[in-house]
Structure 1
Amino acid sequence: MSYQVLARKWRPRRFTEMVGQEHVLKALVNALDDGRLHHAYLFTGTRGVGKTSIARLFAKSLNCEEGISSEPCGKCTACLEIAEGRFVDLIEVDAASRTKVEDTRELLENVQYAPTHGRFKIYLIDEVHMLSGHSFNALLKTLEEPPPHIKFLLATTDPQKLPVTILSRCLQFNLKNMIPQRIVEHLAHVLTEESIPYDEPSLWLLARSAEGSMRDALSLTDQAIAFGGGQVNETDVRAMLGTIDHRLVYRILEGLADHDPHAVIETLAELSRFSPDYQMLLGDIVSLLHRIALAQMLPDAIDNSLGDKEQLLSLASRLRAEEVQLYYQIGLVGRKDMPYVPDAREGLEMVLLRMLAFRPASAQPLAAVSELKQSTVAATASASTTSAAMTGSATTGSTTTSSAAPAGQPVGTSQQSEAVQSAPEPPSVAAEPTQTPVLRDHDQPADTPVSPMAEQSAPPWDDEVPPWLEQEGEANSTKKPEQRSDDPVTRVMPPALEAVQPQAASTIVQKSVAEEPITKVSDQAEPRQQTSTTGATEPEPVAPDEAIPEIEALQVRDWVTLVDRTGLSGMTANIARNLSLEQVNGHELVFHFTIEQDELINDTQRTRIVDALQQTFGCELQVVFKREEQRQETPARYAARRRAERQAEAVALLSQDPIVQTLIEQFDARLVTESVIPIDSE
């Protein structure tokens, strides 16, 4: 007996034996059981998905001698002849070889005659899209209103080429491609029934190579049986197909996850022995990255359709979501540039090296990164609260008031708005001062004349007097102070306005060194009280112009001002300004940094910072860097806070100027706060 190929031997004999296409089978089974039969059916889909098989099963169900049913007997003459392809009333036409209008007319001449043996005369036209335009026109009328004993079953792989007039006269059923997992299950069933040894990885290779076609999968299985000498194993199937080992693709992704360039390049060299299509190989990597991203966001959506679910979930736990998205985008751009590279392997290597070079700042596993993110958010909230408390706390002996900006508002914005909104009405220039500031031991006598405007609007530098406020002369001298060229009033107010009231303009900045600064207004519009010598307040960091303290006297708060005196520059200085000094234990300094600085603080930067600190203090130090929560204020945050405070103070001072208020009242002017630039007192 001659050998029959698996694709023909295992062709389904009834609807229950069909693999897949449940959405089509359900409609046909219900139509047969209920007797709701149309006169024309169109089956579309790629090769080998069951279009002709379903059409023959439908013809068998219509002509079974036991009656129209979705379960033909398979034993009567009509069922046997249809299965063997010799049923006289089932007319199969290959439209690819009979495209002329004469062939169609000859076919339709016999439509009027009743069936010879069966219940219906069935015309099964395969690849119907190959018919010519005249053939379609000749078929239209008969296809729309055929005799009651005629059924048309049309099959095509390209329904877009069919005229709309044909599509509108048929019930259309779209058959889907088979998923690899369904093909593997069917191949395992066939090989088990055929008593042929096999291993599962070889079936996955055959299923993926079939690309959704069950007929192609069975044909490849026939070839694999012959190639393997009566058995199907992975090594023989891989050699027969000439495909690359997809485990090597996973090894490339594992090398990227471990940031191991040697492993990536070695795996690519091993892949090159298969002489692969490098653009297709890059496409496989991009597709794998898509499945990894899906596994990270929706683990339940990942099935084992490719037999790699465990490897996929393992990679998803080792790669961060940011890395996967970045690698995917780099891969897409690399595929677009592949036609322009001089060598395909060179282009793929460059794409992989680009992925290694431009990975995100941290490459921790997804779970670890989530924990780090939560800790970073908590650290940021704690640092913000501490900073707000340090900024708003009053340096008084018994009373402390604080104010905090609303959430989402920059530092200094709330203070600025409060100062503007709650600013008192400016007194007349000639008015006498109504308040005498509290003097310290080194201040001037109480009878020193003080400008009312300066008394009300002086900026609150705690124990530090800006250089531009200093003036020389006798304590009781009546000489008008000389205005400096960098005075903030002269930078904002035009000379014409100064000529209107020169005395008022000068008194805005006429403030003695002896005056105690007036602090900002709190949320309750209560001025901050003066600092008491016995009050429990947090001390200020060492001033920039003071001598560098000994290492034994160094406090964590001093780091915000000492960092600029270490001699660091460039990126190293920027990194140091974002470190927080958390502990000082003798000659041991403990710095904290955030996760965003992880990749920046390398061994070179650490060495530079340690050398600068040892040179600054003139002794050997033990410096520890930890990626932990920053509880102390960093120099960068300190500088930003001071700039915001000075900006708010300058705006408040200028808004209380009588000239500015006169312009606003009489000329409907508006103070552009963004144009106010305070003189930096540091």
Structure 2
Amino acid sequence: MDNFIVSARKYRPVTFDSVVGQQHVTNTLKNAIHNNQLAQAFLFCGPRGVGKTTCARILAKTINCENISASSEACGACESCKSFQNGASFSIHELDAASNNSVEDIRSLIEQVRIPPQVGKYKIYIIDEVHMLSQAAFNAFLKTLEEPPAYAIFILATTEKHKILPTILSRCQIFDFNRIKVEDMSGHLATIAQKESISYEDDGLHIIAQKADGGLRDALSMFDQIASFSNKQITYQAVIDNLNILDYDYYFQLMAAVSQENAADTLLIFDNILNRGFDGGHFIAGLSSHLRNLLVTKDPKTLKLLEVSDNIKKRYLEQSQQINTGLLLSALNIANQCEINYRTSKNHRLQVELALLKLCHLSSAIKLSVNGISASSVELKKKLLESVAIPQNSSPDIVNKAIPIPVVSSAAVNSSNNPPTPSLPVAKPAAPVKGWGSYKPSIAVPSLNTVFEEKAIEEDEEELVKGSEFREVTLNGFLEKWNVLAENLKVESRITLYTIMTASQPRLKGNLIEIDVENAVQMDQLREGKIDILNYLRVELRNFSLELEGVQIEQSKVRKPYTSQEKYQVMATKNPALETLRKTFNLGLS
């Protein structure tokens, strides 16, 4: 136990090449050393745990190394390198600005800068968390930072670049450190696991890397914790149990139940998640991410946007092929609205369960609406053809009488004054058969009703299979459906939403619908009814990428009275005697 060193310290990079995920910084620094073009002040910026202080120490050690290699790396064997590694270097000083942020501390540092280095070519000062310096300390540091001695180099590190004075920033070479990618981090963890003889699963390391949120130090801390928890066997199950992470499997099971419209299993899965101690808001946020990932995997080009292991990618790919894009878009809209309303809701569980029930009935709503469109189109075509309807079991004479073949002379065709009259196409009669008279078809002739009805059904079915789910929307068609929906809302006594929809004409900009609202109250009402409006319009207009946005118009000079006080002021302006009456009887406003 006395000799145990945490992985974040034990495997801290000691050369530029061993730094993880910051090649753009390390390559620049190596080139600067190789070309002898070192600035006198560096500023390393970036989130925690990405290698700022580590790179500062490597840079300081390499600058003073007596035998720099051809690849601009420190040798690690000279006197300067050994003294730095043992923490006994007199030329490299490290200052923590979080605890030494006063003017006196900076003045003491300035006094030290005047003394040349005893060993090595440069005297290097590493100031960590430099944003913690006080305003007076920054001002005292300005002159020295701008014109330091030729042997002095300052390396500043911070997580909050915006807190540093612009006058300090202008005197430094600034290097922005990126969050470390999940793939780079999991690969580094795998290397450490092999060195420590720890068995691991790639899925487990990916979860650790995702949980670290770009910080390698956080990932190494979790790595040590799980290695102890699982007795040096880092499995996927051990990671999610120890870090209390919602398993991907829950969301895959949930979406499978939603696609099968199984509301009971959906609610039971959510209940199991709550019993494990997870928060409903955390669950619904994870569901939104899961739906987003399913939409991303719809196109192989965007598959690389998923920061998950290969096994999980395959599962996303399989499930995305089984669920309709329109269903996913509507489900994502419902989950997003639930996440927005979750914080203000008093009954959090009911809010999530209501969203899950809506998800389970999305397929039925879409099918019902599509079938209604198909049936209405067939009925319309049947009504248009009632005038030429022919019974299925008609005799040849009835057929000949019902559909007379127009005779058009060549003179009539060639005459410009008498253009030919269009007629229905008539099939060529089959050869006559004995016993059927002069016109007897060799096979049964279906009626026009049957032909056109079957054709209409075939067209609708083909349209559903081959038709795009992002059909172009015309302005007239959109306004027609918009007005129908507004009338339906009026019938349902949703007067506020009806007023918003009819007060001004909506604007259609591609797939974005803009509607004007007068105040924040109407904006809130529009947000609440947004899902219902979009679910109706997306299905009716066959475009599942439609979006709705409210635009709050500027208040006019004559403001509408809303409160009791405002209404009274308007009335008193029109009739001054009202104010006299109020004062006489000492009346108040309720």
TM-score between both structures, scaled by the size of structure 2: 0.64
- Taking the aligned partners of 1:152 and 1:360, their CA distance within structure 2 comes to 66
Q: Which of these residues, 448, 451, 456, is aligned with residue 557 of structure 1? A: 448
- Taking the aligned partners of 1:400 and 1:194, their CA distance within structure 2 comes to 98
- Taking the aligned partners of 1:100 and 1:628, their CA distance within structure 2 comes to 71
Q: Which of these residues, 177, 180, 186, is aligned with residue 179 of structure 2? A: 177
Structure 1 residues 595 and 96, CA, compared in 2 at 3 Å: closer, same or farther?
A: farther
Structure 1 residues 166 and 225, CA, compared in 2 at 3 Å: closer, same or farther?
A: same
Contact 2:259 2:363 in 1 (8 A): no
Structure 1 residues 556 and 104, CA, compared in 2 at 3 Å: closer, same or farther?
A: farther
Shift of 1:265: 2.1
- Taking the aligned partners of 1:163 and 1:400, their CA distance within structure 2 comes to 95
* Matched residue type, 1:344: H
* Matched residue type, 2:49: G
* Matched residue type, 1:41: F
Contact 1:252 1:267 in 2 (8 A): yes
Shift of 1:59: 0.6
Structure 1 residues 292 and 299, CA, compared in 2 at 3 Å: closer, same or farther?
A: farther
- Report Cα offsets for 1:37-71 as digits up to 9, x if no partner: 11111111111110011001101110001148721
Counterpart for residue 325 of structure 1 = 329
Counterpart for residue 15 of structure 2 = 14
Counterpart for residue 582 of structure 1 = 454
Counterpart for residue 244 of structure 2 = 242
Contact 2:7 2:224 in 1 (8 A): yes
* Matched residue type, 1:136: F
Shift of 1:217: 1.1
User: Greater helix percent: which structure?
Assistant: 2
Q: Which of these residues, 137, 144, 147, is aligned with residue 145 of structure 1? A: 147
Considering only aligned residues, what root-mean-square deviation do their CA atoms show, in Å?
A: 3.8
- Report Cα offsets for 1:97-127 as digits up to 9, x if no partner: 1111121111111111111212111111111
Counterpart for residue 319 of structure 2 = 315
Counterpart for residue 257 of structure 2 = 255
Q: Trace 1:473-552 onto structure 2 (pairs within 5 A).
A: 526-528=418-420
Contact 2:189 2:220 in 1 (8 A): yes
* Matched residue type, 2:10: K
Counterpart for residue 340 of structure 2 = 336
Identity of aligned residues (%): 31
- Report Cα offsets for 1:356-379 as digits up to 9, x if no partner: 33348668xxxxx9xxxxxx9xx9
Contact 1:125 1:153 in 2 (8 A): yes
Shift of 1:167: 1.2
* Matched residue type, 1:160: H
Matched pairs, number: 419
* Matched residue type, 1:59: A
Contact 1:395 1:530 in 2 (8 A): no
Counterpart for residue 91 of structure 2 = 89
Q: Trace 1:196-215 onto structure 2 (pairs within 5 A).
A: 196-215=198-217
Give unmatched runs, 5+ long, in structure 2.
389-402, 429-443, 468-590
Contact 1:198 1:233 in 2 (8 A): yes
Shift of 1:355: 2.2
- Taking the aligned partners of 1:130 and 1:554, their CA distance within structure 2 comes to 92
Counterpart for residue 30 of structure 2 = 29
Contact 2:296 2:305 in 1 (8 A): no
Q: Which of these residues, 284, 288, 297, is aligned with residue 290 of structure 2? A: 288
Structure 1 residues 218 and 525, CA, compared in 2 at 3 Å: closer, same or farther?
A: farther
Contact 2:259 2:360 in 1 (8 A): no
- Taking the aligned partners of 1:223 and 1:143, their CA distance within structure 2 comes to 42
Structure 1 residues 86 and 595, CA, compared in 2 at 3 Å: closer, same or farther?
A: farther
Q: Which of these residues, 325, 333, 345, is aligned with residue 349 of structure 2? A: 345
Q: Trace 1:47-66 onto structure 2 (pairs within 5 A).
A: 47-66=48-67
Q: Which of these residues, 267, 271, 278, is aligned with residue 269 of structure 1? A: 271
- Taking the aligned partners of 2:466 and 2:23, their CA distance within structure 1 comes to 57
- Taking the aligned partners of 2:204 and 2:241, their CA distance within structure 1 comes to 11
Structure 1 residues 11 and 591, CA, compared in 2 at 3 Å: closer, same or farther?
A: closer
Contact 2:204 2:234 in 1 (8 A): yes
Q: Which of these residues, 187, 195, 198, is aligned with residue 197 of structure 2? A: 195
- Taking the aligned partners of 2:141 and 2:241, their CA distance within structure 1 comes to 49
- Taking the aligned partners of 1:530 and 1:193, their CA distance within structure 2 comes to 86
* Matched residue type, 1:289: L
- Report Cα offsets for 1:326-348 as digits up to 9, x if no partner: 22222221111001223323222
Q: Trace 1:547-626 onto structure 2 (pairs within 5 A).
A: 556-558=447-449, 581-582=453-454, 594-595=460-461
- Taking the aligned partners of 1:248 and 1:536, their CA distance within structure 2 comes to 61
Counterpart secondary structure, 2:453: strand
Shift of 1:140: 1.1
Structure 1 residues 81 and 354, CA, compared in 2 at 3 Å: closer, same or farther?
A: farther
TM-score between both structures, scaled by the size of structure 1: 0.56
Structure 1 residues 103 and 555, CA, compared in 2 at 3 Å: closer, same or farther?
A: same
Counterpart secondary structure, 1:302: helix
- Taking the aligned partners of 2:208 and 2:333, their CA distance within structure 1 comes to 30
Give unmatched runs, 5+ long, in structure 1.
364-368, 370-375, 402-520, 539-552, 561-579, 584-589, 599-626, 630-682
Contact 1:244 1:274 in 2 (8 A): no
Shift of 1:131: 0.7
Counterpart secondary structure, 1:109: helix
Contact 2:20 2:188 in 1 (8 A): yes
Counterpart for residue 5 of structure 2 = 4
Contact 1:199 1:234 in 2 (8 A): yes
Shift of 1:536: 5.5
